[in-house]
Amino acid sequence: MGLLVVGALALTGLAAELAPVVAHWLTGVPPHRTVPGQTWWALALPVPVGGLVGLVLGRRVGADLDSAGAWSVPGALGASAPWHRVVEVRMERRGRRTVVALPLLDGSIVRLRAPYDGHWLGRDPEFERKQFRIRLLWETHRYG
């Protein structure tokens, strides 16, 4: 989503940069430049940089499930839920997204960062299947 926003901003800036040239081509009036011609690099550069940052960081956020429990990836994000402390596995609405929530014995709730289902580019056609797999793992491993 960030790549689309940065791309739209870059295209808007590029259109503003090229507007005097197009106006000169259409009307014959000499272009009046207030911005240097090299500024299009500053407008277009965030698009590939934003895409690379998204690719590098986007794959590192999620949840890791094993026989011991559910763990946030990367671990610095906090939440962990050993299966023996999980009361149930359920889906929960968080704004415009649906996430997997794991209520614990002490009353706290661990919300997994992935999988989630949302709108537009956040749509996951496999969300229910993934939630079912998480529930199956919990039922298999909750009593050791």
Query: 102 by DSSP, 3-state: which?
Result: strand
pLDDT digits (tens, 9 = 90+) for 46-101: 777 777 777 777 666 678 888 888 887 766 555 778 899 999 999 888 888 888 88
pLDDT digits (tens, 9 = 90+) for 8-59: 777 777 777 777 777 777 787 776 666 666 666 666 677 777 777 777 776 6
Determine contact, residues 71/82, Cβ cutoff 8 Å.
no
- The model carries a pTM of 0.59
- Give phi and psi for 87, each to the nearest 5: -85, -45
Which of 107, 105, 106, 98 has the alpha carbon at shortest distance from 130?
98
Q: Give, rounded to a whole angstrom, the gap between the first and last alpha carbons of the chain.
A: 41
